[in-house]
Structure 1
Amino acid sequence: MQALFILLVWSVLIALGLSAPFVLGLAYIWVDLFRPQDVVPVVGQLISISMITAVLAVGMYLVADRRDPPRLGLLTVLMMVWAGWITLTTTWALFPQDAWWKWDWAFKTVVFTALLPFVFRSRIQIEAALMVLLCAVAAHVLPYSIKGLISGGAYDRPLGLIAINAHWGGEGSTLATYAFACLPLVAYLQRHSLIAPATGIMRYVYMAAPLLALAGSFATFARAAVIACLVWAALTWWQSRRKSLLAVAFVAAAIAIVPLMGERWVARISTTLEPSQEESAHTRLIVWGWTIDFANQHPAGGGFNAYHANFIVTPGPDGVDIITEARAFHSVYFEILGEHGWIGLGIFAALLAVMFFDMWRVRRASRGDPELEWLGDLARALSHAMLIFMAGGAFVGIAFYPLHYYLFAFAVCARAALQRARRGVAVAPAATDPGADPAVAASRHLPAWRIRAAGTKDPARRTAHGQG
């Protein structure tokens, strides 16, 4: 029954995509993040759902949707350089079979997300992509939240839709990082959504999102959850105009949630400040030290899954040596350093730096312009989401999982939307009947970026959004 329902949802998206090609891009985001083939494994046995969706999305774009592509920018160029470098390092990988297996999905992640800005051009399309991303993530976080509130959660135990401790939806640290990284995007939609404005029941959905993310993330017992939560709270507090009230709300939420997690949660999280007192955290530090030495000897990296080469002997407390062998990197940065060397780490750092710079430029260009307020807030939300990912990702090896690559893609979309606005090309949906009201009809003679965004008090202008 589950398989039939998932295949029905996928089929509907594919059918809609044949008439509106950007929907196929939405379908790929849903498949990539929700992972129906892992939620219901029989789906993956019946059909190669990911490959078919990707081929259709690219094919329909090339055949029917090559309108107003974004200008080539440094961020896109760096994405292609990054894809090329990880391919090159795979040719000299220490463990070729494992390396090419990981390259197969990592390369697809990088390349396909680099193509998404060509598909999502208008404000509505960008918003639809954000909503699909958030719904896919929420589908995995929500079961953790419910079970965490009921039972208090547990470490290294799948509590979500994926029954194994794998992929982002089944691995606690990754799920916690994703949950908090998505909250700035939720806040953006709460303020600017045209598809699901914060009225009626949606108002309460937006308000509940931080609490559900908090409960679901803490239920994983992952230390990364606390780090990501602190960064999200700091960014939210800094941007708030009611700092005292928000600080009280944060304290109240902590007082309510922490006791529900139980003493085991407190005992595990307390080791964050003293990693040498906990075996898992201490081993992680040892592996990070080995990775730096390894990268110094292999500046171009050891290829994907190079961690299989580590063999570390350390003295134990009872005088017996402790052997650490083939332990994963457990960090985005050390994963990149070990697999792709100092050169790869430099390319990835450049990607982050260029994204933040581009989003700063978008915010600066849209400041003071009510028509582009949504774009400035989107740029800020993407920057904050990436900062939260960077904090949580420091403790889990997810350098080639999809979320942050989608953030790169949406950053390119935001920059392209600003460029289109400057050229007078519309970036939001058109009025259904522009001749029905004189004020709306008059707006046709104005540049599209000067048409007031939805949410204004002028009802005539609420519908005056030109389609990109």
Structure 2
Amino acid sequence: MLDIALFLTVAIMLALGIRRPFIWVLAYLYIDILAPQKMSWSLLQSLPISLIAFLLAFAGWMIGDTKANTQFTVRQGILLALLGWCFMTLQWADFPDSAQAKWDWVWKALVFGIFLPVTLITRLRIEVATLVMVLTAGAIIISAGMKTVLGGGGYGDLYLFVNDNSNMYESSTLATVAIAIIPIILWLAKHSTIYPPDWRVKTFAALLIFACLTIPVGTEARTGLVCIAVLGVLMLRDVKKRMLYLTGAAVLGLAALPFLPASYYERMSTLGSVQQDQSASTRMQVWGWTLDYVSERPLGGGFDAYRGNSFTYNLPVVETDGTTTSVEYKEITDGGRAYHSSIFEMLGEQGWPGLFLWLALHAIGLWQMEKIRKRWRERKAVGEQWQAPLASALQFAQIVYLVGATFQGIAFQPFVLMLVGLQIGLWTYCKKRESAKVELARKAARDARRAAASANPAMP
């Protein structure tokens, strides 16, 4: 039944796109985030549905959308430059086979990140794309949250829709995305025009946020706890009753403590003893190796260049016997370890040029969202009160991602590149509206001058 339901969902979306081609864009968002073909065992698994939706989304835009107001922004240019640079580093990759395997999905994520903004030409399209992304990710999050609440979590033991440690189904990635979309859920619950913002919507939003908060517990991803703390601080900027917010957050945090499993406490305790934690120590060794690597190869070694790393270091092991504490050093030899940081992922794979492009992409995004927030937050006119809150929500989501990305190799995470596409779409939409408003004001001034000149021909 599940196989048939997934097949019918995809088939209906693709069929509806014949009448409304933008639905093909939504179909690709759904397929790329949820990966229903991996959940299927017959029908969808035998079809390249991701590629089909990808091509249909482009074809639908080419055939059905107007191109008159299409704008190519700076950030789309950066994505295009990053795409070209990744292709260049692919030519001299240290490990051609694994680099090609990563390129096969990275290029598609980058191209769609460039393409998505040109389709978001109306408020409705921006809203529905945001909603599909959140609800599709929410399907994974709700399932994982239910298993966590029922006691089925644990590091490496939280089983999701598919047994695939990649994309959204990687535990730390899911934890980061789950926390990042919380401000977007709040925006949808308050400002979306797709459904009435009644008690049912608010209840669902509250439950979805609760599910998001359970993901770092269920996955026992340390990055998730850091992301929760960062988001909690960020949201102080926009809340009106800060003391009530702080009190409520403290009460909820204390109330949750008795329900957390012992394994969660044990794993989170390693955050305060980085030098004694082998995982954290190994990451620092990889980061040091990466810096040495790019000092010799500043243009990077292509995708998966980390496979060439090797190192030996001494790990301090603390042993306590009664009142006596001793420290012994254990020699650790390791190699072929992943970067566990998007910054070092970009540096090792794409060199300094790639890292600069990636940092510029996100720095400009943070600046643009802040600019929209400041320009639109005081506006009271109908249809001008949703832009600033959305910019703020997307900015918070991006900051949470960047914090999580510091400790994960998710520089090209497709869901995040979709968020970048939403940011670019919102930026372009606001610029067009401001330009139209300025042009309207200029036209009104010209008409006023002409009317005055007609009424008084003696005026110069």
> TM-score when scaled to structure 2?
0.89
Cα displacement (A) at 1:361? 2.4
Q: Kindly provide the amino acid, as one letter, of the partner of residue 396 in structure 2.
A: H
CA distance in 2, matches of 1:152, 1:82: 40
Cα displacement (A) at 1:53? 0.5
CA distance in 1, matches of 2:43, 2:244: 47
Q: Kindly provide the amino acid, as one letter, of the partner of residue 285 in structure 1.
A: M
CA distance in 2, matches of 1:134, 1:189: 9
Q: Kindly provide the amino acid, as one letter, of the partner of residue 123 in structure 1.
A: R
Q: Kindly provide the amino acid, as one letter, of the partner of residue 329 in structure 1.
A: Y
> In the alignment, is the contact (CA less than 8 A) between 2:112 and 2:418 conserved in 1?
no
> In the alignment, is the contact (CA less than 8 A) between 2:93 and 2:99 conserved in 1?
yes
Equivalent residue, structure 1, for 2:447: none
- Say whether 1:324 aligns with 2:298: no
The residue matched to 1:345 in structure 2 has which SS? helix
> In the alignment, is the contact (CA less than 8 A) between 1:161 and 1:169 conserved in 2?
no
Cα displacement (A) at 1:214? 0.9
CA distance in 2, matches of 1:77, 1:285: 33
> In the alignment, is the contact (CA less than 8 A) between 2:7 and 2:44 conserved in 1?
no
> In the alignment, is the contact (CA less than 8 A) between 1:300 and 1:340 conserved in 2?
yes
1:357-403 deviations in whole A, cap 9, x for unaligned?
A: 22222223323222322111111111111000001111111111112
1:268-291 deviations in whole A, cap 9, x for unaligned?
A: 111112212222122112111111
Q: Kindly provide the amino acid, as one letter, of the partner of residue 409 in structure 1.
A: G
CA 191–45 in structure 1, closer or farther in 2 if over 3 Å, else same: closer
Equivalent residue, structure 2, for 1:421: 433
Equivalent residue, structure 1, for 2:420: 408
> In the alignment, is the contact (CA less than 8 A) between 1:162 and 1:169 conserved in 2?
no
CA distance in 2, matches of 1:31, 1:69: 28
Cα displacement (A) at 1:212? 1.4
> In the alignment, is the contact (CA less than 8 A) between 2:278 and 2:315 conserved in 1?
no
Q: Kindly provide the amino acid, as one letter, of the partner of residue 241 in structure 1.
A: K
CA distance in 1, matches of 2:250, 2:178: 20
> In the alignment, is the contact (CA less than 8 A) between 1:311 and 1:324 conserved in 2?
yes
CA distance in 2, matches of 1:424, 1:260: 54
Q: Kindly provide the amino acid, as one letter, of the partner of residue 9 in structure 2.
A: V
Equivalent residue, structure 1, for 2:233: 234
Q: Kindly provide the amino acid, as one letter, of the partner of residue 23 in structure 1.
A: I
- Say whether 1:74 aligns with 2:74: yes
The residue matched to 2:332 in structure 1 has which SS? strand
- Say whether 1:379 aligns with 2:420: no
Cα displacement (A) at 1:84? 0.7
- Say whether 1:355 aligns with 2:365: yes
Cα displacement (A) at 1:29? 0.5
Identity %: 30
> In the alignment, is the contact (CA less than 8 A) between 1:24 and 1:53 conserved in 2?
yes
- Say whether 1:216 aligns with 2:215: yes
Q: Kindly provide the amino acid, as one letter, of the partner of residue 211 in structure 2.
A: L
Cα displacement (A) at 1:44? 4.8
Cα displacement (A) at 1:423? 4.3
Q: Larger Rg: 1 or 2? A: 2
CA 4–262 in structure 1, closer or farther in 2 if over 3 Å, else same: same
CA 335–258 in structure 1, closer or farther in 2 if over 3 Å, else same: farther
Q: 1:258-337 maps to which residues of 2 (within 5 A)?
A: 258-315=257-314, 321-337=331-347
CA 344–167 in structure 1, closer or farther in 2 if over 3 Å, else same: same
Q: Kindly provide the amino acid, as one letter, of the partner of residue 28 in structure 2.
A: Y
Q: CA RMSD in A?
A: 1.9
Q: Kindly provide the amino acid, as one letter, of the partner of residue 336 in structure 2.
A: A
Aligned length: 427
CA distance in 2, matches of 1:32, 1:391: 23
Equivalent residue, structure 2, for 1:88: 88
Point out where structure 1 has 5 or more consecutive residues left out of the alignment.
Answer: 426-446, 450-468
Cα displacement (A) at 1:448? 11
Higher mean displacement: 124-133 or 271-280: 271-280
The residue matched to 2:193 in structure 1 has which SS? coil
CA distance in 2, matches of 1:6, 1:370: 43
Cα displacement (A) at 1:45? 2.8
CA distance in 2, matches of 1:16, 1:200: 30
Cα displacement (A) at 1:420? 2.5
> In the alignment, is the contact (CA less than 8 A) between 1:93 and 1:99 conserved in 2?
yes
The residue matched to 1:266 in structure 2 has which SS? helix
> TM-score when scaled to structure 1?
0.87
Higher mean displacement: 204-213 or 90-99: 204-213
Equivalent residue, structure 2, for 1:30: 30
1:308-335 deviations in whole A, cap 9, x for unaligned?
A: 0001112355666321110111111111
Higher mean displacement: 47-56 or 362-371: 362-371
Point out where structure 2 has 5 or more consecutive residues left out of the alignment.
Answer: 317-327, 442-460
> In the alignment, is the contact (CA less than 8 A) between 1:143 and 1:159 conserved in 2?
no
